[in-house]
Structure 1
Amino acid sequence: MHNVISPASHGGQRPLFALSLGSTLILSALAQTSLAASGTPATDPAAALAPVVVSASRFPNDPTFPPVAATVITAEQIREAGIDNANEAIRKLGGVYGRQSLAGPRDFPLDLRGFGTNGDQNMVVLLDGVRISENELSTPLLSSIPIENIERIEIVRGGSSVLYGSGATGGTIQIITRRPQANSGHGTVVGEVGSQGLRGGRALVSRGWDNFSIDASYAKSRSDNWRDNAQSSQENLSSTVQWFASDWRFGLRATLSRADFGLPGSLTQAQYEANARQTSKPLDRGSYDNDSVTAFLERRFGAFDVAAELAHREKISRSSYVSSASSAQVNIRGTQFSPRLRHVIDQGAWKNEAIAGIDLSEWTAYNNASYGNSDAAQRSKALYLRDEIEFARNARLAAGVRREVFNQQSDSGLYDRNSAVNAWDLQASYAPLPLLRAFAKTGQSYRLATPDENGYTALPTGAVLKPQVSHDLELGATLGKTGQQLTLRWFRHRLRDELYYDPTANGGFGANSNLAPTRHQGVEVEGRLQLTETLGVNATYQHIDARFEEGANSGKQLALVPANTFTTRLNWKSGQHSADVGARWVDRQRMGNDFANTCAKMPSFTTFDARYALRVSAWEFALTGTNLADRKYYSQAYDCSGGSVSGIYPEDGRAVKFTARYDF
């Protein structure tokens, strides 16, 4: 069974700010377009910034081939917002919808395009090209990545299975760490103290010589958190050593993560109204040890680039449910190897990039539980090819294919299955004006059932779930450039055999299932505007209509998918002072088991957060507040049987923290 979460709260009108920001951006960008066309240089507030080069092809990218309409979050944006983990940066700065975590650590399940319960299973998260999305039904541990070592985060929405394989229908999130710097060194020490018993500290030290660099980071935090029995403690240690020159790089990275947390459980509507902070399970607890080591290589041979990663992960996950007199320990091992080759031809009037790669992976798990032991394994081999050509510096055409062969087996589950699945995509973009680029994308993406999903189904003994297949279509345009930009996308994903936890299956007891055909369709708007030299604003709006297209619930909305979400941030910086204010609005959504759409929807909610910082020499002091209005709302409700709501997971109330940072 896969439990998930999804926000809600009390009423509120839909924001008009998205319209006003969009109008301002359009007028500003059109003015710049006119100037560029006439040959008069336009004033660009961000012109002094270093160019951000994004990675569309699993290689450090040539600026000619950036992913179209990608969302890029820079290290400076993360720091100015006072964000202390990558998950929070993706939600607040990238506008990605996230649901309240069921456990203490702040790894909220993320959802790029309205996949509800399995939102975080329908996107791929990578750290420097290495997949960190879990093959088990759990959220990627983004909190284990040292935030001070992140150079940027790239969010590419839409089907991406050709390059990244299973689970990339919603898109990809690539976290890229800082490149080694020869003959330089720096360090950072951060301390935090706040409400709800928050205590934390972290440190990063990096040093580079002629052809060698090393960095090390350590972080430890604890908090009582807002609810009873929601306390958590977390400890992360990471180190990377690299050897490098102008045309090659080789390195080793090791990360160790430890976490211990309470499991407060869900509430009924009556419990929530009486005291939303209470726990229904005061003695339930969980913990994990997650260790990984990665070797990576990049090498250039003239027009050819070679790259590869070999990564191994071991995780021990423990849970103790005193409320149900049960406990479990899951031992997980995963290994992946991803060699690839790129060839670039530059003929002036046109440029071509060809990529070929192989992905090999192996994953095993053994579950030792009080209610019985089980095992599972999954192995896969994939080959992909992709080619992209640019004409006259303003038109691009790309095509790619992928075939993945996989085996799923379990002695305890009595299955051993070999199968294969394919992905393809075709993309095109054209810039009719210097500041306007239109784009289109179509293709097929897929997701394989995880061993956890195959472990709890209503299928006959020995049977497993079918792969999920999505036919993807996206149209859009980007207007403007860095500092003043507006992006609009329309998308549609038509899915066959969508993998989902169906609470109505198995005689009402629920089971992981292949749903009848579904459709996820919507619009995304992203805008960024530098109002003055000291003041900037960005906003993200998303509308999603996710429904069954066939079957008993044809035409009904899917559960736990808000119809609309909106996030915006205002950033001000002047001399030693800076401030950052953000707002998030989430529309109503169906409760977890409401496949027939007979229950009232979860209420919408709006929250605000803010940060003020003062820089004094090498020191920075900051005060940060979240849910400033102390709004009472919940982000998850599983059940509304008989009109009685239960399975509620409340979101946190107001919290404040003070941070001191020293850079050297």
Structure 2
Amino acid sequence: MTTTHTLRALGARTPFALAASLLAAATVHAQTVSETIPTVAITGARFAAAADLQPIGATIIRAADIRDAGASDVGQAVRKLGGVYGRQSLDGSPDFGLDLRGFGTNSAQNMVIVLDGVRLSENELSGAILSAIPIDSVERIEIIRGGASVLYGDGATGGVIRIVTHRAKAGEASGNLRAELGQFSARDARATVLRAFDGGSFDASVARQTTDNYRANAGFRQTAFSGGVAWQLAGGRLALRLDSARQEQRFPGALSLAQFQSAPRTAQTPNDFGSHDIDRVSALYEQRIAGIDFAAELSHREKTVKATYVSAYGTTRMAYKGHQTQFSPRLRLLDSVAGGLNELVAGADFTRWDRKTDSSFSLADAEQNAQAVYLRDEFKFDRANDGRIALGLRHEVFDKTSNDPAPYTTATYSTKQSLNAWELAASYRLLPGLEGFAKAGQSYRVANADENAYTPKANVPLKGQSAHDLELGTTLGDGARSLTARWFRHRLTNEIYYDPTVNGFGANVNLDPTKRQGVEIDASAALDSEWRASAHYQHVAASFTAGPYAGREMVLVPANVLTARLTWRSGGHTADAGVQWVDSQRYGGDFANSCSAQIPSHSTLDARYARQLGPWELSLSGSNLSDKRYFSNAYGCKGGIYPSDGRQLKIAARYDF
């Protein structure tokens, strides 16, 4: 049976049957081995690894940092502590559009998000739902900037955000209850429990979040559950997890500049609403046999999305149901070679995705199957040299089909696309406390089902996008004080983007060649035993390099973003404050740079104070404390504006047990 046939069979099962099948197979196999897996320090090339092999040039956000900053979800932690720029969501959810290295409205399609090895990024024009991940379960977040398609495949030109959850230690038992109240009728209640038992552990989290939000008709409701169980096997580990989220949203619509200036809280579409339900079951299996580490993730996701849009022309309803099954087996040989440490990783990624749409404008039945193989070798010289060099290759094939019997649609096609990625990375300790690093490579992405549904030529899917990536950087300091500076460049061919000028009504196209080039600086310092400061700066020059728009700036990309934070902790008191300044940017669709205005620059301030009283923590927090009136999403010249939130204050109580 071929891998594709296997995935078809797996996809036909329920998520619970899928997980049970892997559990049974892994348990039988575990009875034949007796070796142990090395101590986990940090995540390397999709394996648990020693700190010496952490991703070159990565930004690491740890659980203690997240707790001090009072980040309420993963996306907020990435923005506050990782310095990643984020745009206000369009549906009232807290899931901002994160943007690594200036990819504008398509930032989610040029960045991969991974949760415990399971890819959350999908074959759709939608971002990962980070707000449903229990923030208390997160052990660390790794932000790997720049091309990473060798290990992570489609859409990793901007980088990868890896979320790693906590693994219970022997005898560990903990839990917490948390409640939060805020302006705009915000309510947030959460409960988490974790317990280790003989040979394993289990955890569970439930959360309920409601808010009316800043604008009219922008209400948001979410109920989420996450639960898992893990077993320590002879020489390995098996973990099963179920994640579920139910969202209800209201859609306020876009405003003109005049409407934003006079009444930014009003709704342009007061009767639009929708829902988003997602269930995902995943299984992780790790084993060491004869000095070789084996690992695999198997996951199945089901998603249902519904929306209703009301206008003067009538009511339009849309619904779709999608499924995605992923299987990612791999192996690693970690061994001493010529006085150094060598890590050889080989793996494969198999993904089956399908979606059926039921609406007045589309009845598309779309499917994508992807098969990839990759190989990566990294060698760390002896400690006297403290140098590393890595080389990786990947080949991936995509089979895409879509059939839409609805009249006047353009979403019927069948195509096969084959793409390659490579990377060469190196680092070297130049002096004590001073390290230099460099990366070069090629990354790629393919158009998703939504993009291929609206192209300039009916029923003709877009070409694959490729990027040549280059990065040079240096890190100075240690854990107490560190400074990392990077220069980067991405030269893109056939960049996939929406052009509102095509055919008079707009379409998704392959752009003429484009470029992202800039500088990133990350700094952090423990000023003394109580004070800690951090700052992140990004400068991006995003432009066309050929065609009629050659030399013009890309749209919805701020040239500069600066984020700075200061944290104080003493005797049960914690205070944290941060400021972010975002430069001006071109309105969406203004490829000719002819609009007489730009989206203005803005600065925002947030802060939090918490008091620990035994098992209790009481906190007061505020966002956009200066009540700055601004916007980060605008899809036409002085129009298509989605205002960002105004000032909001919240109080919270947490009880740990």
Q: Give the structure-1-normalised TM-score.
A: 0.90
2:403 is the alignment partner of 1:415? no
Aligned partners of 1:264 and 1:66: how far apart in 2?
43
Equivalent residue, structure 1, for 2:56: 68
Correspondent of 1:384 among 374, 377, 389: 374
Residues of 1 paired with 2:643 and 2:40: CA distance? 38
Q: Does 1:402 align with 2:394?
A: yes
The alpha-carbon deviation at position 483 of structure 1 amounts to 2.2
Quick check: 403-412 or 367-376, which moved more? 367-376
Matched positions, count: 608
The answer as to 2:628 corresponding to 1:636 is no
Distance 1:533 1:246 in 2: 42
Q: In the alignment, is the contact (CA less than 8 A) between 1:104 and 1:232 conserved in 2? A: yes
What's 2:611 paired with? 614
SS of the residue 1:550 aligns to: coil
- Could you tell me which residue of structure 1 aligns to residue 492 of structure 2? 495
Tell me if 1:568 matches 2:568: no
Q: Distance in 2 between matches of 1:372 and 1:421?
A: 29
Residue 254 of structure 1: CA displacement? 0.3
Q: CA deviation at 1:347?
A: 4.3
Mapped contact 2:40–2:49 kept (Cα < 8 A): no
Indicate the residue corresponding to 1:48 in structure 2.
none
* 1:133 CA displacement: 1.0
**Aligned residue identity for 1:388:** E
Unaligned stretches of 5+ residues in structure 2: 1-38, 405-410
Give the aligned residue type for 1:601: Q
**Corresponding residue number in structure 1 for 2:22:** none
Residues 1:346 and 2:336 aligned together: yes
Which residue of structure 1 lines up, in the alignment, with residue 199 of structure 2? 211
Displacement of 1:53 after TM fit? 3.1
In 2, distance between residues paired with 1:302 and 1:573? Answer: 47
Structure 2 counterparts to residues 125-136 of structure 1, below 5 A: 125-136=113-124
Cα deviation digits, residues 501-521 of structure 1 (max 9, x gap): 1112122x1111100000000
Q: 1:658 aligns with which of 634, 651, 655?
A: 651
Q: Which of 323, 335, 338 is equivalent to 2:325?
A: 335
Q: Measure how far apart 1:251 and its partner are.
A: 1.1
Question: 1: distance between equivalents of 2:40 and 2:543?
Answer: 37
Change (3 A) 1:225 1:497: same
1:649 corresponds to which residue?
A: 642
Match among 339, 352, 356 for residue 366 of structure 1: 356
Equivalent residue number for residue 198 of structure 1: 186
Q: Indicate the residue corresponding to 1:482 in structure 2.
A: 479
Q: What CA distance in whole angstroms lies between the structure 2 residues aligned with 1:505 and 1:313?
A: 35
Q: Which amino acid aligns with 1:148?
A: D
1:139 CA displacement: 1.0
TM-score for the superposition, normalised by structure 2: 0.91
Shift of 1:538: 0.3
Q: Structure 1 pair 595/235, CA: closer, same or farther in 2 (3 Å)?
A: same
CA distance in 1, matches of 2:330, 2:603: 45
Q: Output aligned runs, 1:315-326, within 5 Å.
A: 315-323=303-311, 325-326=315-316
Match of 1:30 in 2: none
Q: Aligned partners of 2:290, 2:61: CA distance in 1, in Å?
A: 31
- Indicate the SS of the match to 1:631: coil
Q: How does 1:125-524 map to 2 (within 5 A)?
A: 125-245=113-233, 247-323=235-311, 325-347=315-337, 349-393=339-383, 394-412=386-404, 413-459=411-457, 461-507=458-504, 509-524=505-520
> Percent same amino acid at aligned positions?
50
Report the CA distance between 1:270 and its aligned residue.
1.5
Of residues 588, 592, 596, the one that matches 1:592 is: 588
CA deviation digits over 1:526-558, x for unaligned, max 9? Answer: 000111110000000000000000011000000
Distance 1:73 1:232 in 2: 28
Write the letter of the residue equivalent to 2:371: K
1:80 alignment partner AA: D
User: Which amino acid counterpart does residue 366 of structure 1 have in structure 2?
Assistant: K
Contact 1:54 1:154 in 2 (8 A): no
| Larger RCO, structure (CA 8 Å, separation 6 or more) | 1
Q: 2:454 & 2:460 partners in 1: Cα distance? A: 11
| In structure 1, C-alpha distance between the alignment counterparts of 2:298 and 2:142, rounded to whole Å | 22
Partner of 2:533: 537
In structure 1, runs of 5+ residues without a counterpart are 1-50
Are the equivalent residues in 1 in contact too, given 2:40–2:48 (CA < 8 A)? no
- Distance in 2, Cα, partners of 1:183 & 1:526: 37
CA distance in 2, matches of 1:442, 1:88: 30
Alpha-carbon distance in structure 2 between the residues aligned to 1:95 and 1:203: 28
Map Cα deviations across residues 245-274 of structure 1 (whole Å, 9 max, x no partner): 573110110011000011000001111111
1:23 corresponding residue in structure 2? none
Contact 2:453–2:459 (CA under 8 A) maintained in structure 1: no
**Whole-angstrom distance in 2 between the partners of 1:573 and 1:183:** 28
Secondary structure of the residue aligned to 1:559 is coil
Q: Which amino acid aligns with 2:336?
A: D
Q: Single out whichever of 156-165 and 592-601 deviates more from structure 2.
A: 592-601
**Partner Cα distance (2:441, 2:525) in 1:** 32
Q: Partner of 1:401: helix, strand, or coil?
A: strand
Letter in 1 for 2:346: A
Aligned-pair CA distance for 1:374: 1.3
Are the aligned partners of 2:392 and 2:423 in contact in 1 as well (CA < 8 Å)? yes
Instruction: Look up the match of 1:20.
Output: none
| In 2, Cα distance between equivalents of 1:62 and 1:505 | 51
Offset of 1:223 from its aligned partner?
Answer: 0.5
SS in 2 for 1:325: strand
